[in-house]
Amino acid sequence: MMKMRIGVLALLVALSVVEFGLASPNTVPAFLWSPHLQAANGELDEAVNYQVMSAKDLVGSVFTHGGWSNFLCSEKKVEQPVDVALVFIGRELLSSDVSSRRNSDPSLVNTLNNLFTASNFSLAFPYIAAPEEERMESLLLSGLKQACPHNVGVSNIVFSDSCLVEDGTIQKLSDLQSFKDHLLARRETRKEGETDLVVLCSEGSQSHSERESISELVSSVEQSGSKYTALYVSDPYWYTSYKTLQRFLAESATGNSSSVGVSTTCDELCKFKSSLLEGILVGIVFLLILISGLCCMAGIDTPTRFETPQDS
């Protein structure tokens, strides 16, 4: 009986650890879909990979299981080519947001769900470890070169200005309307069998929300009659770090400028940091006092009994 209780307890602990790991705030979701691609048997192909994988492995799965290497590499021929490969790199969703729909945009989740379920081919990756050393757009370019070692068959690669890529030969567009105009122009100039790679990175503070950007761009591609496949992946951590770095550089530039017109006020973030630092310092002082007191008390060595004095 005791062994059974211990076994049940161990099982519950293991399940709780697994659940905590899957719902970790450091994982993000990714969705791959296409209304034009189909499985080999012609039926709907829907799959969900519940494994926690790295962002690099995700890019590899997109090119292999998603079939992107078949139409983005010039040395490979496919029976189901697509005209446009869309990539949306968001900054909002976490894995926990998709499962519980808390602290997220429900309209964005609903839009992705509708596009995902209405497609003939779809793959979902709910738990992707957020990249720490490289941004998602850089991993995408690296994965493209690795999947197509001999020759990349992409006829046209376009990134948004908000994407941080070091390749100076890549064309960049400023806003959503520029992407629409580009897709319309490419419809007239694109040759048969060619595939364009279009990558849109969310800025977080842009005029269009992620839901609006995805809906409008997909609608524009569908209205043009182009065949497409799309990938959405969230990468919120680099965006947060980048905005923090921007703020720090702006404050440094302001501090190095002339004293005329320089603002010396402390905003809410400054007050929060100063209060936090003050609390940490006070806590360290009290901790040192507590440790010193405990050491002094532990060092007191008094006899447990006293001998009776002898009469002379």
pLDDT tens digits for range 107-145? 888 888 899 888 888 999 999 987 777 888 888 988 888
* pLDDT at residue 248, as a whole number: 54
* pLDDT at residue 13, as a whole number: 32
Look at residue 169 and tell me if it is in a domain. Answer: yes
Look at residue 271 and tell me if it is in a domain. Answer: no
* pLDDT at residue 258, as a whole number: 45
* pLDDT at residue 236, as a whole number: 76
Beta-bridge mates of residue 160: 173
Question: What residues of the chain score a pLDDT lower than 70?
Answer: 1-25, 39-46, 74-80, 100-104, 151-155, 204-207, 237-264, 311-312
* pLDDT at residue 106, as a whole number: 82
Look at residue 252 and tell me if it is in a domain. Answer: no
* pLDDT at residue 284, as a whole number: 96
Look at residue 79 and tell me if it is in a domain. Answer: yes
- How far apart are alpha carbons 70 and 64 in whole angstroms? 8
* pLDDT at residue 250, as a whole number: 59
Residue 74 makes CB contacts below 8 A (sequence gap 6+) with 148, 150, 151, 152, 153
* pLDDT at residue 45, as a whole number: 60
* pLDDT at residue 86, as a whole number: 93
Look at residue 282 and tell me if it is in a domain. Answer: no
* pLDDT at residue 292, as a whole number: 93
Look at residue 309 and tell me if it is in a domain. Answer: no
Q: How many domains does the chain have?
A: 1
* pLDDT at residue 278, as a whole number: 93
What residues make up the domain containing 124? 27-234
Look at residue 83 and tell me if it is in a domain. Answer: yes
Look at residue 120 and tell me if it is in a domain. Answer: yes
